[in-house]
Amino acid sequence: MITKMLSEEESRHFGSLQFTPSRKAGLARLRNFAPLAGREYAARRNYDFGPEFRGYVSALSPWIRHRLITEQDVLNAVQKHHSISQAEKFVQEVFWRTYFKGWLEQHPSVWTAYLSNLNRALESGIQNQEYRDATQGRTGIDCFDHWVRELVETGYLHNHSRMWFASIWIFTLRLPWELGADFFLRHLMDGDPASNTLSWRWVAGLHTKGKTYLARANNIAKFTEGKFNPVGQLAENAEPLTEKAEHPSVALSISDPMPKGDFLLLVTEEDCQIAELLPHEPAADMGLVASCERSPLSLGKTAQNFAAGAIWNSCDCPSLETTNWQDRIVAAAEAAGVKTVVTGFAPVGPVATKLYKSKLAEAGLQLHQIRRNYDSLAWPHATKGFFGLKRKIPTILGGLGYPLR
């Protein structure tokens, strides 16, 4: 049994997790996990023991997704305990997020096609009994029903369970993948347009065309240590889904320059820590929450509270109002007497949509979206499959100044 391999001391750190949406809590979790990011992670990360025991994965995704802690915070902490090569597997996983963000940025029509297919599927889907059974955990497939409850109650699922879940949704229950992706995005604290949409497409055989992921009973039994064994209940084939739409690649934009004079700082869930990069203090700041725009349906409470809390804890003047964004920004800039608004770069997703075609220009305001050097160095390599970017990890890390041992 794998469970027994942590010391008592370690087990205390990794019992039931508290996901407090602050930088301090994210850094504390990171400090606890970093010693295990080497061999332990590589050997045991695929085991899911449920929410009571998250010892072998970092569970850092809610903080990283909102950039309460950044990928570089994670790399810095890991490096204190391991060389990059000792923690190779973990470092690669961190770069999966980077890959998905960079890839979606260069194929934005995947997101818009997802949204329109989702709306179409919802029109008939919500009435559909199979969809209701799936989202209420009443399929009769124990593991699946358990993960539905776990997701809704805790706002987190282990990566392996996400893969099994998506595969069962698509190939056993035969429901539209967009409805499953929407269910995840509404309930995951780390709900993220790029990682979520592209992972669902990857399972379905739409991302790596023709290559699907099939959940198998023996694999579930092995990596849940026998907690579940859905023998005879799962599809035995996973025929890849197909689509008519083409998704041409578009050039990456360049980062806006740093502001020179006074500015209003706008904090969104895309980068709660952007203030650390700016040349001086803002004249004023404001936070705006766009998480409810993730879906036409309502967001799970846990996911909503994490996103709102992340912003609340990252600026002096948070707002939980989600309407009239642009009017609010214009009013706040006027009150602060500035003509420049600065925010963290908003990748493809609801925040970017909210900022697009803004009234800000009409009001004579200039919007600067500041992209992190980490993204600027990595995203150009996210053009094809993950392995293209993986090959470039040493170059990217070298460019960021990490010693490559």
97 binds ligand FAD (CB under 6 A): yes
53 binds ligand FAD (CB under 6 A): no
Applying CB under 6 A, which part among 61-69, 137-145, 328-336, 386-394 lies near ligand FAD? 61-69
* 60 vs 330 by CB, closer to ligand FAD: 60
147 binds ligand FAD (CB under 6 A): no
- Beta carbon of residue 203, minimum distance to ligand FAD (angstroms, whole number): 6
Say how far apart CA 228 and CA 220 lie, in whole Å. Answer: 7
- Beta carbon of residue 61, minimum distance to ligand FAD (angstroms, whole number): 3
Query: Token pair of 176, please?
Result: 């539209």
Q: What is the CA angle 171-202-142, rounded to 5?
A: 40
- Of residues 57, 84, 286, 389, which one binds ligand FAD by CB under 6 A? 57
Backbone angles phi, psi at 230, to 5 degrees: -80, 50
Q: Of 281, 242, 238, 233, whose CA–CA distance to 259 is shortest?
A: 281
166 binds ligand FAD (CB under 6 A): yes
Applying CB under 6 A, which part among 90-98, 105-113, 142-150, 394-402 lies near ligand FAD? 90-98
CA distances from 176 to 122, 135, 200, 214, 309 (A): 10, 13, 11, 16, 32
* 93 vs 270 by CB, closer to ligand FAD: 93
Q: Which of residues 13-52 bind ligand FAD (CB under 6 A)?
A: 45
- Of residues 184, 325, 345, 379, which one binds ligand FAD by CB under 6 A? 184
Q: Which of residues 189-208 bind ligand FAD (CB under 6 A)?
A: 190-192, 195-196, 199-200, 203
* 202 vs 312 by CB, closer to ligand FAD: 202
Q: Of 17, 8, 24, whose CA–CA distance to 157 is shortest?
A: 17
How far is C-alpha 148 from the chain's CA centre? 18
Number of residues that bind ligand FAD (CB under 6 A): 27
Give strand pairing partners of 265: 285, 342
How far is C-alpha 83 from the chain's CA centre? 26
Say how far apart CA 280 and CA 182 lie, in whole Å. Answer: 39
Is residue 182 within 8 Å of 164, Cβ to Cβ? Answer: no
- Beta carbon of residue 244, minimum distance to ligand FAD (angstroms, whole number): 23
* 60 vs 115 by CB, closer to ligand FAD: 60
- Of residues 20, 58, 139, 291, which one binds ligand FAD by CB under 6 A? 58
Sheet of 264-267, strands arranged across: 318-319, 284-288, 264-267, 340-344, 366-370
Say how far apart CA 46 and CA 402 lie, in whole Å. Answer: 28
Q: Which of residues 218-277 bind ligand FAD (CB under 6 A)?
A: none
- Beta carbon of residue 243, minimum distance to ligand FAD (angstroms, whole number): 17
Which residues contact ligand FAD (rule: CB under 6 A)?
45, 57-61, 64-65, 93-94, 96-97, 100, 159, 162-163, 166, 184, 188, 190-192, 195-196, 199-200, 203
